[in-house]
Amino acid sequence: MIRLFSVRLLQAILVMVAVTAIAFVMFRFVGDPVASMVREGATQAEKDAVRVTLGLDKPVAMQFVSFVGQVLTGDLGTSYRYQQPVTTLLLSRLPATLELVIVATVLALAVGIPLGVLCALKPHAFFSRLTQSATLVGISMPTFVTGLLLILVFAVNLRWLPSSGRGDLVDIGPWQTGFLSLSGLKSLILPSITLALFQLTLIMRLVRSEMIDVLSSDYIRFAFARGLSRTYIYGRLALRNALMPVVTVTGLQIGQLIAFAIVTETVFQWPGMGLLFTNAVGYPDVPVLAAYLLFVGFLFVMINMIVDILYTFIDPRLRTR
């Protein structure tokens, strides 16, 4: 268990070092940081002054050290485009993304797990075959196309739901939530379904294949030989075994989730961090790009640490050694 943790910790540190290095290189060498800080037509002297304030006259290694220091204190530079501190910018967009991701994930788990179990238990039933085929269509359908179709049907043609934005927001301290207003909830429907569909197919297929594996194992055969009821065997014994890998995979899928959140936010003009990022790519707003990269790396590492800890708690083979 300690060994597992140290391997994971090493991996986490490696990821963070790699990410910080890339972010540093982007800040320092991509585009011209000085040009973005001074007024147009500035003299060489003015530029040099800015260069010194930014610390660009020091050796690269020194700059990296001070960059790491800045990152650790939460200073991620200033956006070229918005002329605001990037940290403030990211934080103001965080609630939108989190609300979307959480609703979508809950939706995907709530539908995906039962469907996966059902398809594993009755692999030849009509319903299972239908679901299986539907998931194939699901993984063949890019997220943005799903989004576009939903907009076309429910926003353009039926005019039931809004196609973009978050609707009316309610401030709870620094957190702006869309959960507390009707238009906010209505705005959430299409984007969260779009994002959930992508996860749902993955979860469903994973649960199904794990469940099929578990059902053919000796200990499930032994459970049948003891005459335990089907509901008990499937619902309590097999499902727990089958859900173990789902936990790990969910952790590893975080990156994918972030990526598809970017796509979803762009399609629905959802004012979250992903939209900020796509806009930054087009501008190009390098500090925002670098900061987003750092943020994603950090999130990925943190969530996988949590998943690992969780895993050792639910798997007795790791817990009691």
Partner 1 sequence: MTDKTRPVLDIRNLRVEYPLANGNTLVAVKDIDLTIRPGEIHALVGESGAGKTTVGNALMGLLQAPGKIAAGSIVIAGKEIDLRTGRTEGIVPGRDVGAIFQDPMTSLNPLFTVGSQLCEGMLTHLKLSSREAKARALELMKAVGIPEPERRLGSYPHQLSGGQRQRVVIATALACNPQLIVADEPTTALDVSVQAQILKLIRDLADERDVGVLLVTHNMGVVAEIADRVTIMQNGVVVESGLTREVLTAPKAPYARTLIAAVPPIDARLDRLPVPSEETQVTLDARAAVRRKSARSEIGSRDDVVLSVRDLAVEYGGRSLLPGRKTSVFKAVKGVSFDVRRGEIFGLVGESGCGKTTVANTIAGLVTQSAGSIDFQGTALGARREKSIRQSLQMVFQDPYSALNPRLRINAAIAEPILFYKLASNADEARQDASTLLEAVGLPADAGTRFAHAFSGGQRQRIAIARALGPRPSLLICDEPTSALDVSVQAQLLNLLKDLRDLAGLSMLFISHDLAVIRQMCDRVAVMKAGEIVELAETQTLFTAPKHEYTRELLRLAPSVERIFGRELASA
Partner 2 sequence: MATQSLMRRLPPVSVVIASLVLLIMLILVIFAPLIAPMDPRDVASYSLMDMEIPPAFMESGDPRFLLGTDNQGRDLVSVILFGLRISVVIGLGAVIFAAMLGVVLGLVAGFFGGVVDGVIMRIADIFVSFPTILVALLISGIARAQLSAETMLAWAPLVLIFSIAINEWVQYARTVRASTMVEIARDYVRAAKIIGLPSSRIMGRHILPNIMSSVMVIATINLAGAILTEATLSFLGAGMPPTYPSLGTLIRIGNQFLFSGLWWIAVMPATVLVILVLAVNVIGDYLRDHFNPKLMAR
Q: Is 127 in the site for partner 2 (CB under 8 A)?
A: no
- State which of residues 54, 56, 148, 161 lies at the interface with partner 2 (CB under 8 A): 148
- Here's the x/- map for partner 1, 116-145, by CB under 8 A: it reads as ------------------------------
Residue that has been written with the tokens 């910018």 in this structure: 89
Residue that has been written with the tokens 């539907």 in this structure: 134
Number of residues in contact with partner 2 under rule CB under 8 A: 52
Q: Is 263 in the site for partner 2 (CB under 8 A)?
A: yes
The 10 Å Cβ neighbour count of residue 52 is 11
Query: Where in 225-244 is the site for partner 1 (CB under 8 A)?
Result: 225-229, 232, 237, 240-241, 244
Q: Which range in 66-74, 204-212, 220-228, 294-302 contacts partner 1 by CB under 8 A? A: 220-228
- What CA–CA distance (Å, rounded) separates 321 from 1? 8
Q: Is 188 in the site for partner 2 (CB under 8 A)?
A: no
Residue count of the chain: 321
Query: What's at 53, amino acid-wise?
Result: T
- Non-local (6+) Cβ contacts of 242 within 8 A are 117, 120, 207, 210, 211, 213, 214
**What pairs with residue 85 in β-bridges?**
78
- What CA–CA distance (Å, rounded) separates 314 from 321? 13
- What CA–CA distance (Å, rounded) separates 139 from 112? 13
Between residues 40 and 218, which has the closer beta carbon with respect to partner 1? 218
Q: Which range in 13-21, 52-60, 82-90, 180-188 contacts partner 2 by CB under 8 A? A: 13-21
Number of residues in contact with partner 1 under rule CB under 8 A: 27
Contacted by 133, from partner 1, partner 2, none: CB < 5 to 8 Å by type = partner 2
- State which of residues 256, 302, 309, 314 lies at the interface with partner 2 (CB under 8 A): 256
- What CA–CA distance (Å, rounded) separates 77 from 88? 10
Residue 65 and residue 55 in contact, taking contact as beta carbons nearer than 8 Å: no
Between residues 229 and 278, which has the closer beta carbon with respect to partner 2? 278
In the complex, least distance from residue 244 CB atom to partner 2, rounded to whole angstroms = 14
Q: Is 141 in the site for partner 2 (CB under 8 A)?
A: yes
Contacted by 240, from partner 1, partner 2, none: CB < 5 to 8 Å by type = partner 1
- What CA–CA distance (Å, rounded) separates 203 from 233? 21
Q: Is 312 in the site for partner 1 (CB under 8 A)?
A: no
Residue 103 and residue 93 in contact, taking contact as beta carbons nearer than 8 Å: no
| Cis status, amide bond into 85, omega within 30 of 0 | no
Q: Is 84 in the site for partner 2 (CB under 8 A)?
A: no
- What CA–CA distance (Å, rounded) separates 114 from 51? 59
What is the chain's alpha carbon radius of gyration, rounded to the nearest angstrom? 24
Rule CB under 8 A: which residues touch partner 2? 10-11, 14-15, 18, 26, 30-31, 133, 136-137, 139-145, 148-149, 151-152, 156, 202, 205-206, 208-209, 213, 249, 252, 255-256, 258-260, 262-263, 266, 277-278, 280-282, 284, 286, 289, 293, 296-297, 300-301
Rule CB under 8 A: which residues touch partner 1? 3, 6-7, 10, 217-229, 232, 237, 240-241, 244, 314-317, 320
